[in-house]
Chains A and B, each alone.
Chain A
Amino acid sequence: MTDIKSAFEHGKAFIPFVTAGDPDLETTAKLLVGMSESGADIIEIGIPFSDPIAEGVVIQEADLRSLSAGTTTDKIFDMVKEIRPQIKCALATMTYVNPIFVYGTDKFMARCKECGIAAVIVPDVPYEEKDELSISCDKYGISLISLIAPTSNDRIKMIAKEAQGFIYCVSSMGVTGVRSKITTDIGKMVGLVKSVSDIPCAVGFGVSTPEQAKKISESADGVIVGSAIVKLVAKYGKDCVKPVCDYVREMKNAMN
């Protein structure tokens, strides 16, 4: 249940994202347990970064709230390690290359393994630079998730051939954040992946409503939602667990 492969064996996978330490790590711990019980198949744990260049305003502000509250990479790992036995689904971390590199890439992946984290998602490491992380990832059995974007075109097959875990399909141009419309031909992107690999494809960036999730899951294996959840956390603070879990359940049901 806690590995990436089996996360895609219960219908279409729902993959929520949460910024660790926003508003505090106790709340994040409750969210991890609650979301896993509400139908999440993989949870992306965001390790905050001072300068998240792929994020829209919602997650930028969450990162700042978390860092201002004193969250560090070590405190996040400690929390995940303690709570891990209560979480039924797979876990991934999402962060930028600098917090990993400066922490020590090898040490970072060792701690992921120790905490039962199966994958890392790093939006500023493209195919050309993946050796920066993949050696340590391989050593500790952590999947380095590859991203493909609407501009990837001829790069998709090259990326898919070497991808591990699942492919993160970036649905739209720009940064993360809720969008009313997604115009990219997701089916075509997924089709290019599937022509060279049977790896699962999950779609993120801009997805927020059950209708969008339902439509996207017709052509993809999973849906990733970040900003819509982080918005609920921002709105309800420490009382966010119930509204977030209700939302996760609604999304998972809409897709299956």
Chain B
Amino acid sequence: MSKGRFGIHGGQYVPETLMNAINEFEKAYNKYKNDPEFVAELDTLMREYAGRPSRLYYAEKMTKDLGGAKIYLKREDLNHTGSHKINNCLGQCLLAKKMGKTRVIAETGAGQHGVATATVAALLGLECEIFMGKEDTIRQALNVYRMKLLGAKVHAVETGTMTLKDAVNEAMREWTNRVSDTHYVIGSVMGPHPFPMVVRDFQSVIGKEIKQQLFEKEGKLPDVVMACVGGGSNAMGTFYEFIKDENVKLIGCEAAGLGIDNPKNAATIANGTLGIFHGMKSYFCQNKYGQIAPVYSISAGLDYPGIGPEHANLHDTGRAQYYPITDEEAVQAFEYLSRVEGIIPAIESAHAVAQCIKMAPTMDKDKIIVVTVSGRGDKDVAAIARYRGENLYD
């Protein structure tokens, strides 16, 4: 069996042109991950630049309103650039720099990973190019302009469904075109080994902080941790620290779009089958001939036909449960959290909030749920207004 397996999932299914580059990246990661100087440098950036640790906030009004389990929100939305994506970008870009790369490329869906990559590239003096589906450049126009402000070049990808999957295709093509001076900063726990492992490790700070912060506040472990899942990086970062704590339930919330029985959804665990795509064996939404399905979600960040291989394995083993959340449920949760707690979550994160709204009332008051709010929702305001029939711009 090849490297980078999670059960049967994972692997390194990439063109030969990239093999030396990903081997080199793996070597560099193994060399630097325990290097005191690198660790200290990254730690300083995480604190002083990204603003870590992020808050673990007791959502008292929400808890009382729902009348069940005690709810804490892990505020990744308060990080610099407004999402958890900065954790991984700081790690990978710093590594790229150590490897002597002068240019980084990245895919982005909602634009959060693109913004975070462009931000760190600006900070570290790396050239930066971002690939984004044309459909998403329209849905997330604000983030496109942010990336440009940060000095990145943004390519609007016009192939396929013009969304996240196509942005990954195009970024991979560009990496094969120019691999010697370029590192591909994959934004989620997906792609060929070592990316799922590296991204998970850089994101695992989320779960580590949750454990410590909750222990300080409550003196115990949470009963449930939950997060939204597209590729699955904020969820993997939330889960990883708790995998061995068998009494902690791990819950991922995937995008069901118009419903899992409607073709317009992106619920990979609910509807996907085993396949090999984007460098990894995992579950994908596809037809019986292995053609990848044109998936859909209101959330550009979850609008992806696959899921990271470690999640696929957590599903196989039953260690984590994954629930589909529709557009309508996510929008209601988006509005609910804004109104009740004064926190506007990213529409991606709102999928996790929606599951919490369903689950909390069914649990006893001495139980604790931690929901990772992976990003802030400013970028989504215009799209949600549109969903509700209001056009903010003429």
Q: Which residues of A contact B (CB under 8 A)?
A: 49-51, 53-54, 56, 60, 67, 72-74, 97-103, 123-129, 131-132, 147-153, 155, 159, 170, 173-175
Q: Is the CB of B291 within 8 A of A50?
A: yes
CA A210 – CA B5 in complex, angstroms?
45
Q: Would B21 and A99 count as touching, CB distance under 8 A?
A: no
Complex interface bits, B262-286 against A, C-beta within 8 A gives 1, otherwise 0: 0000000000011111110000101
Residues of chain A with a CB closer than 8 A to B219's CB: none
Q: Would you call B217 an interface residue if the criterion is a C-beta within 8 Å of the partner chain's C-beta atoms?
A: no
Interface SS of chain B: helix, strand, loop or mixed?
A: mixed
Q: Is B105 an interface residue (CB 8 A)?
A: no
Count of A-B residue pairs with CB < 8 Å: 120
Determine how close the nearest CB of chain A comes to the CB of B165; give it in whole angstroms: 7
Give the nearest-CB partner of B173 in chain A: A175
Instruction: Report whether A173 and B15 are in contact in the complex, using a CB–CB cutoff of 8 Å.
Output: no
Which of B129-137, B175-183, B245-253 lies at the interface with chain A? B175-183
Specify which chain A residues have a CB less than 8 angstroms from the CB of B16 in the assembled complex: 123, 126-127, 147-149, 151-152, 155, 159, 170
Given contacts A49-B290, A97-B276, A174-B173, 10 further A-B contacts (CB under 8 A): A50-B291, A53-B169, A74-B289, A126-B19, A149-B17, A151-B17, A151-B18, A155-B19, A173-B176, A174-B176
B276 with A126: CB separation less than 8 A: no
Judged by a CB distance under 8 angstroms, whether B13 is at the interface is: yes
Q: Of residues 142 to 187 in B, which have CB atoms within 8 Å of A's CB atoms?
A: 159-160, 165-166, 169, 172-173, 176-180
**In the docked arrangement, what's the CA distance between A147 and B17, Å?**
9
Which B residues between 1 and 59 are near A, CB-CB below 8 angstroms? 1-3, 11-21
Does B388 touch A at the CB level, under 8 Å?
Answer: no
Which of A49, A73, A149, A173 is in CB contact (< 8 Å) with B178? A173
List the A side residues contacting B166 at CB < 8 Å.
Answer: 51
Smallest CB separation, B100 vs chain A (Å): 16
**Residue from A54, A67, A98, A159 in contact with B276 in the complex, judged by beta carbons closer than 8 Å:** A98
Distance of A131 Cα from B277 Cα, bound (Å): 16
- Name the residue among A49, A98, A131 with the largest chain B CB count within 10 angstroms: A98
B288 in contact (CB, < 8 A): yes
Roughly how many angstroms separate A170 CA and B169 CA in the complex, as a whole number?
19
A73 engages B12 (CB within 8 Å)? no
Partner of A127, one of B3, B19, B291: B19
Task: Indicate whether B292 reaches chain A with its CB closer than 8 angstroms.
Answer: yes
User: Which B residues are in CB contact (< 8 Å) with A100?
Assistant: 290
- Take A100-B290, A151-B179, A152-B20 as given contacts and tell me if A123 and B15 are in contact as well, using a CB distance cutoff of 8 Å: yes
Complex: A97 Cα to B278 Cα, angstroms: 10
- Is A102 in contact with B275, judged by CB distance below 8 angstroms? yes
Contacts of A67 in B (CB 8 A): 291
